[in-house]
Amino acid sequence: MDSLRLLSEFIHNNNVIDGKPSETVDVIYKLLTTTKRITPAFEAKYPSVAGQYAAYAWMVERVRITDGITFNDVRAIHYKLDRNREDRGAIRTESKIVRAYECPDPVGLGDVVKKFDYLLTLCDGIIQSGDVAANNYFWYVHNVFECMQPFRSDNGRVGRLMFNMLRLRHFMDISNFDVDTVTYYNAIESFHSVFGSRYAYKPEGNRKLGTGKL
């Protein structure tokens, strides 16, 4: 499949999943095939395309030179995606509730991020088990990220970009995320019970991190 067509589908779907305005796949594809670089005028007219395209272009280059993906790379994705936000790439400092579950307390979020960083270090090893096992593990990492919600905004789109960065790192085509939105969010909510026992704060005692194994 045409790689730019696949990217166009992903950019469109990545917006739609979060209920954000999006250009059609055909419009995005035309933009990507005719635009040589992201100009201020382009970004002002097509913000839902420009940030994701900039993040994707950075990801493609990054996976060629890095020894392994880390949380700092995920922060860079957020920085590229939300280039007009003053707090882009910054860890949130306030409580956050997403749909039916509460995200980790910002007081201990740094420790949760460290655990997440460890999960990323395992990605290069898991690929030896084959594409199916690797993709399943990347979904696991994606779900942890979405339950963690480290940024104030755009964790959904960043998490899906991160998922595709992991696939690019291992020479796999990106996913276009043509998924049923209800099923997608229900899967993340179901995963939250596992996340809570392994990564989030225990509600009792002195609020230490859960001790479940990674």
Could you tell me the CATH number of the domain that includes residue 14? 1.10.3290.10
This prediction has a pTM of: 0.91
Query: Does residue 181 form part of some domain?
Result: yes
Phi, psi (5° rounding) for residue 95? -65, 155
- Tell the residue number behind the tokens 């305005």, with chain if given: 21
Query: Does residue 144 form part of some domain?
Result: yes
Query: Does residue 207 form part of some domain?
Result: no
**In the chain, what is the greatest distance between 2 CA atoms, to the nearest angstrom?**
58
**Model confidence band, residue 200 (pLDDT cutoffs 50, 70, 90):** low
CA-derived radius of gyration, the chain: 17
Q: How many domains would you assign to the chain? A: 1
Query: Does residue 80 form part of some domain?
Result: yes
Domain that holds residue 58: 3-198
Which two three-digit tokens encode residue 203? 């509600």
- CA–CA separation, 55 vs 186, rounded Å? 27
Q: What is the pLDDT of residues 147-188, one digit of tens each?
A: 999 999 999 999 999 999 999 999 999 999 999 999 999 999
Mean pLDDT across the stretch 10-36? 94
Query: Does residue 212 form part of some domain?
Result: no
Which of 71 and 214 is assigned the larger pLDDT? Answer: 71
Query: Does residue 211 form part of some domain?
Result: no
